[in-house]
Structure 1
Amino acid sequence: MGFRIAGETVYIPDLSALTQGAVSRLISEGRVVGKVVIHRSLIQILEYHASKGRVIGYTGLEEVKRLREHSDSGTIGLEITGERLKGPITDEEQVVNEVNAVVREYAYSVNGVLITGSELQYQVAKAMGVQVILVRDREQGRLGFERFFTENTMSIHLKEGVAPVAKVGRPGEWRFTRLGDKPLTRQEIEEMANEIIEATRSRSDAFIEIDRAGSTIVQLGSYRIVITRPPLSDGWEITAVRPLKKLRLEDYNLPEELVKRLNERAEGILIAGAPGMGKTTFAQALAEYYMRMNKVVKTVESPRDMMLPPDITQYSKHYADIGELHDILLLSRPDYTVFDEMRTDEDFKLFADLRLAGIGMIGVVHATSPIDAVQRFIGRVELGMIPSIIDTVIFIRNGQVDKVYEVKMTVKLPTGLREAELSRPVVEVRDFLTGELEYEIYTFGEQTVVVPVKKLKGKHPTHEKVIEELGKLMPEADIRFENDAIVVSITRSDLRKYNKKIKRLRKIEEKYNLPIRVRIEE
């Protein structure tokens, strides 16, 4: 270390203190006066993270710049000392622990004051007899991006070079609103991003869920925040989403039959809907409902953005591989597991494995129609296993339950087929409230087909082609589909004209395997 004035206090920050912006905050509060010494290995680690495009690196370097400004103004003395780490960084966690140990030892050797935001670092330093300041959680003030939110704001979209915009309203009934005419600058976006990251280091209700080169996903209280930056995106961008209202299951005014099913029989539940329609809000309400029924409930999320009571354990899909989650949930055996945002093959396989192991599963999937949610499993699991994995599909539209399907397996002749030997296992998808059969799923040859039964009852899938062909053959006849057959109505006076053509009807009937009847009218 360089020249030191007698009696001068030397402050040595560790990595957590720099990434939280703790040192400059302590200087502003008048708690740090004297010399601040930064170990070179910290600069090296921050440079490494910044080179990977991670916000933590930019935040730490921004703090070092602020300390340099304080030094230039004469508020503090600033010195950078020590040696860089040797060799490439391979194990990041090990390197961070090593750097924190180096900084701690340095503070001990110069009888300085260590500044840290880590409880573990604080305890170790105290045990060594090192003077240490633990930066506690600061008061949760209003952050810069929050000024764009009003009571009815669902999400804000901030991008450099573009005026800020927001979605205002409620699921299914929202509008895009411009929040000003002045485009945001890169500096403004970066400052808000740094502020968000700093808040995750100091707030107990905030954490970085995913930090990749070019993108960072943060859960900050009730806000789910996505930060992207070049080269992934063409400019810095912040998208923040906030649930407008936390609902109980009772608020949905569900039919009594559905509540009874949720209480007694539904154990493989799919909650489906388009983005922004309120799927996660409903899943959240259902999870709390089961918790109040004294069921053990856990969730698998990425990011962990459900607002749930501490009785419900929330697991991050990002911080554990699928095998680890499988073992944890299989061994802990919760009554229900809520799997939010199912997307990949691994997600669906985990859902299926846990359900077949006897765990009640509630999956949340993006789908534009209720049957799309069931189709997401086709090809991922055997067709015959689908009813064992999914028994109830709840489709959410505009924040309300729009449709409920019941999924069952049976052996029958599929609707529309006529040969008895074609009977086969069929997955039936019925409207739960009316009992009406709406879809059949079965294998036909090498292919799995999803057949809309309601449409079949009104018309044969090939009837339009048959009617078109018959129309060309008999242009003056009245041709329509009635009672599972094509009916050709001709007048008695036209009978002689069409006598030869009527014989050709049998060939068309055989070609399309569809009955054709001739009706003679006076």
Structure 2
Amino acid sequence: MNRDLHELVLERDELAELDPAERRLALRELLAGKVPPDELGDQVASLADTIDGFGPLSGLMRDPLVTDVLVNGTDPVWVERDGVLDRTAVRFRATDDLRALIERLLASAGARVDSARPVADARLVDGSRVHVVLPPVAPSGPLVSIRKFPPNRFGIEDLLRSGMLDERQAALLEALVGDRRSLAISGATGTGKTTLLNALLGAVPATERVVLVEETPELHPSCPHSVSLIARPPNVENSGEVDLAALVRAALRMRPDRIVVGEIRGDEALAALAAMSTGHEGSMVTVHARSPDDALERFVTLSLQAGSGASEAALQRQVTRALDVVVQLTRNGRGRRVVASIEDVE
């Protein structure tokens, strides 16, 4: 399609306000006689996907098995589908097309990226999380990583069917949650820590109040009495920040039965440790670590960096008293997410 015609169609703002079926009909009418009849269907589909916001990525974003979409410049797009990385046939024809998509996605989330600030994070209107890195930081071309927001909650039964855990592990984890044992879910990036945490929250009794603390909203538990606190980054004037540590302290004043922290990676480690040590049994956190021992060590290190004033030995004792169990996640030889171990903290 002629690029001028393409841009002219996209300038029709009213198209974005139509539902998908009406939009495709309107596009077909607009393009009739302007493109060859044998190309009309493909051009309508391409423009409809562009107006929807995700352009060539639209089909991948609609795929219910895809959890992550990874764009590496104009190379073929990769996805994580059903727990396994997969190279697709989708690619951007030109860097300009990719840059236009980036600007459109970030603008819809009130964010921006440019050469002065070449790295950006944003949460899209559908709940997906997007991370963008531009040249020269990314010399091979713009990089886009999209973590899709799952439309449905995954329960323990879903994780059993997926092979992430077996029946013995499922029964043990549900019992640990029911017994109000404090858990740390540990694993590398992309091993399913948030997915498992979401599922375990479904085992929390309906009589308990759960306060969720996250940097970005990823948890959507089925437990009926839960409230969420979401961190806020500083504005352009470097003010107005509300970090996770402040939110954990706020959660303590909200009459929680359990406090759940989406990911421990900073000063919030010390605040979460205090919460689990002062009567909030059954609390849960995730931590980026490669083994249960690494998870405990990371908890201690982050607490030290938060300026607790306590010695390393004292913090080690506090961590082992506050945490009952570490659930370690990994990827097996086929690249699938699995529960590698469930270990008591001693």
* TM-score (norm. length: structure 2): 0.65
Mark the CA change 1:256 to 1:176 in structure 2 (over 3 Å): closer, same or farther. Answer: closer
Query: 2: distance between equivalents of 1:147 and 1:29?
Result: 18
Matched, 1:357 2:270: no
C-alpha separation in 2, matches of 1:183 and 1:141: 16
The CA deviation at 1:322 is 4.5
CA drift at 1:390: 0.9
- Is contact 1:296-1:334 (8 Å) kept? yes
Query: Paired residue for 1:218?
Result: 122
CA shift digits 1:447-489 (9 cap, x unpaired)? xxxxxxxxxxxxxxxxxxxxxxxxxxxxxxxxxxxxxxxxxxx
How far has the Cα of 1:271 moved from its partner?
A: 0.4
Q: Aligned partners of 1:383 and 1:265: how far apart in 2?
A: 21
Aligned to 1:238: 144
Give 1:128-143 correspondences, 5 Å limit. 141=52, 143=54
Separation of aligned partners in 1, 2:191 and 2:89? 23
Q: 2:186 touches 2:326 (CA, 8 Å); kept in 1?
A: yes
Q: CA deviation at 1:28?
A: 7.0
Checking the alignment, whether the CA contact within 8 Å between 1:163 and 1:178 is kept in structure 2 is no
Q: Specify which structure has the bigger relative contact order, considering alpha-carbon pairs within 8 angstroms and separated by 6 or more residues.
A: 2
One of 264, 289, 296 as aligned partner of 1:342 = 264
1:264 aligns with 179
Equivalences for residues 471-482 of structure 1 within 5 A: none
Could you tell me which of 73, 78, 102 is aligned with 1:166? 78
Match of 1:192 among 95, 101, 120: 101
Following the alignment from structure 1 to structure 2, what is the Cα–Cα distance between the partners of residues 183 and 247? 32
1:373 Cα deviation after fit: 1.3
Deviations 1:308-360 (A, max 9, x none): 4685322223441345314311211311222122222x131121122123224
Q: Could you give the per-residue CA deviations for residues 192-243 of structure 1, whole angstroms, max 9, x where no partner exists? A: 1222234336xxxxxx699992222222324221122234433322111226
Aligned residue identity for 2:85: R
Q: How many residues are paired up?
A: 263
CA distance in 2, matches of 1:184, 1:370: 45
SS class of match (1:331): coil
- The answer to whether structure 1 residue 402 and structure 2 residue 315 are counterparts is no
2:207 equivalent among 283, 294, 306? 294
What does 1:172-187 correspond to in 2, within 5 Å? 174-180=84-90, 184-187=93-96
Residues 1:232 and 1:337: Cα distance change in structure 2 (over 3 Å): farther
1:383 paired with 2:316, answer yes
TM-superposed CA distance for 1:190, in Å, is: 2.0
CA distance in 2 between counterparts of 1:242 and 1:27 reads 27
Find the aligned partners of 2:59 and 2:171 in 1 and give their Cα distance.
42
How much does 1:26 deviate?
A: 5.3
**Closer, same or farther: CA 373–26 of 1 in aligned 2, 3 Å:** same
How big is the alpha-carbon RMSD for the aligned residues of Structure 1 and Structure 2? 3.3
Q: Percent identity?
A: 20
User: Offset at 1:263?
Assistant: 0.8
| Structure 1 Cα separation of the partners of residues 251 and 296 of structure 2 | 24
Q: Which has the larger radius of gyration?
A: 1
Report the AA paired with residue 395 of structure 1: Q
Contact 1:163 1:183 in 2 (8 A): yes
8 Å Cα contact 1:299/1:340 also seen in 2: yes
Q: Distance in 2 between matches of 1:387 and 1:365?
A: 15
In structure 2, what is the Cα distance between the partners aligned to 1:308 and 1:216? 28
| Per-residue deviation, 1:280 | 0.6
1:333 and 1:359 in contact (8 A); partners too: no
| 2:253 is aligned with 1:331 | yes
Report the TM-score when normalising by structure 1.
0.45
Q: Which residue of 2 aligns with 1:497?
A: none
- SS of the equivalent of 1:351 reads helix
Distance 1:29 1:388 in 2: 55
Mapping of 1:433-512 within 5 angstroms?
none
Distance across 1 between alignment mates of 2:178 and 2:263? 24
Check 1:337–1:322 CA distance in 2 against 1; reply closer, same or farther (3 A cut): same
Moved more, 234-243 or 268-277: 234-243
Deviation (angstroms), 1:393: 0.9
Structure 1, unaligned runs of 5 or more: 1-23, 31-139, 202-207, 408-427, 429-522
Cα offsets for 1:225-279 (capped at 9, x unmatched)? 112223443332211122667411344444544432321240x210012222211
Matched to 2:145, the amino acid is T
* Shift in CA distance, 400/194, structure 1 to aligned 2, threshold 3 Å: same
